[in-house]
Chains A and B, each alone.
Chain A
Amino acid sequence: GEDVEQSLFLSVREGDSSVINCTYTDSSSTYLYWYKQEPGAGLQLLTYIFSNMDMKQDQRLTVLLNKKDKHLSLRIADTQTGDSAIYFCAEAPYSSASKIIFGSGTRLSIRP
């Protein structure tokens, strides 16, 4: 079945890079996403990557996709206090493209 896994917590120092990792099970996934959730709010799309891409960069964000290992990562360069949030990885399995599956979320905290 479809499953997406992430570590629950990550703590980084302000100004350092943050790397949030995710693994998924459906090798036929078409789209893979990263969402950000700030306290008490809904989810906002940060970025997404097609399954035929290896990397996507958008300002401070870099997404890496390793299809062989079914591993997705989000790197945030120069992490700021405003980056504190929960980050969700999600996949759109080809077998059911209407059904988006989310990971449990990684809570990113920033140390001064």
Chain B
Amino acid sequence: SQTIHQWPATLVQPVGSPLSLECTVEGTSNPNLYWYRQAAGRGLQLLFYSVGIGQISSEVPQNLSASRPQDRQFILSSKKLLLSDSGFYLCAWNRGENTIYFGEGSWLTVV
């Protein structure tokens, strides 16, 4: 069966520090991969999605970036965090039009 893991689960980082959130999917190949952000009290915002290695689509211009160095690995990064980057980050995957499955999320607090 397929599983998705993301880490770290919680993170407290100072303003201006770098960020790296990692996500891996097991049990499938060539998945579509996604990063969503859920700000406090708000809905889900699609940040990036990827349909293959090295193929990244950015939905919202900001100081975050994403990379897909391997088929089942998706990384969310920032060189310098802002206070407004705080939120709950969710990695997700699916195959084509099928159901999207989410990881457990990563809580980021920028202080």
Contacts and interface: CB of A to CB of B under 8 A. Distances in A.
Interface of A: 6, 30-31, 33, 35, 40-45, 48, 88, 90, 92, 97-105
Please report whether the interface of chain B is mostly helix, strand, loop or mixed according to DSSP. Answer: strand
Give the interface SS of chain A, mostly helix, strand, loop or mixed: strand
A44 B4 CA distance: 13
Contact of A101 (B46, B92, B94): B46
Give the contact-size bracket for chain B.
20 to 34
B36 A33 contact: no
Given A88-B44, A103-B43, A45 B49 contact: no
B90 A104 contact: no
B99 to A, nearest CB: 5
Contact of A88 (B43, B59, B94): B43
Given A42-B104, A43-B90, A97 B97 contact: yes
Contacts of A103: 43
Interface of B: 32, 34, 36, 42-44, 46, 49, 51, 57, 59, 90, 92, 94, 96-105, 107
Given A31-B97, A90-B100, A42 B43 contact: no
B18 to A, nearest CB: 24
A42 B90 contact: yes
A41 B96 contact: no
A41 B105 CA distance: 7
B43 A45 contact: no
A101 B97 CA distance: 12
Interface centre among B46, B59, B97, B105 (most CB of A within 10 A): B97
Contacts of A33: 99-100
A43 B43 contact: no
Given A42-B90, A99-B49, A104 B43 contact: yes
Contacts of A42: 90, 102-105
